[in-house]
Amino acid sequence: MSELPEELAAPVDETPTPARPAWLVELLSWVRFGFSVAATYLVFTSIAFILFFVPSESMQPGLQVGDRFVVSKWAYGWSRDSIPFGLGRVLPTKPGRIFFRSPERGDVVVFVNPNNGIVMVKRVVALPGDIVETRGGRLYLNGEQVPRTFLSLVRYRDRFGNIQTAQSYSEKIGKDAKRNHRIYEFSDEYGFGSWSPDRAGPFLIEEGHFFAMGDNRDNSNDSRSPTGPGQIPMENLIGRAEMVLFTFARCKTEDGLECPPSRLWRLM
The answer, yes or no, to whether residue 98 has pLDDT greater than 90, is no
Average pLDDT, the chain: 81
Helix (H) or strand (E) holding 247: strand 237-247
CA distance 171 to 184: 10
Instruction: Domain of residue 185: give its range.
Output: 50-267
Structural domain contains residue 166: yes
85: three-class secondary structure by DSSP: helix
What was the pLDDT predicted at 179?
Answer: 72
Of 122, 196, 220, 223, which one is the catalytic site residue?
Answer: 122
pLDDT at 187 over 50: yes
pLDDT at 169: 96
58 is catalytic: yes
Tell me if 222 is assigned to some domain: yes
122 catalytic? Reply is yes
- Classify residue 6: in a domain, yes or no: no
Position 2 in a domain: no
**Averaged pLDDT, 239-246:** 87
Contact 199, 191 (CB under 8 A): yes
In which band, very low, low, confident or very high, does the pLDDT at 96 lie, cut at 50, 70 and 90? Answer: low
Residue 78 has pLDDT above 90, yes or no: no
Average pLDDT over residues 117-131: 95
Q: Which of 1-5, 22-26, 135-139, 246-250 has the lowest mean pLDDT?
A: 1-5
pLDDT at 46: 47
Q: Would 119 be classed as within a structural domain?
A: yes
Is 16 part of any domain? no
pLDDT (0 to 100) of residue 245 = 83
Residues 203 and 211: their CA atoms lie apart, in Å, by: 9
Judge whether 124 and 212 are in contact, CB under 8 Å: yes
Note whether residue 15 is domain-resident. Answer: no
Total domains present in the chain:
1
Options 58, 82, 220, 223, the catalytic residue: 58
pTM of the predicted model over 0.85: no
Q: Which CATH number do you get for residue 126?
A: 2.10.109.10
Residue 21 placed within a domain: no
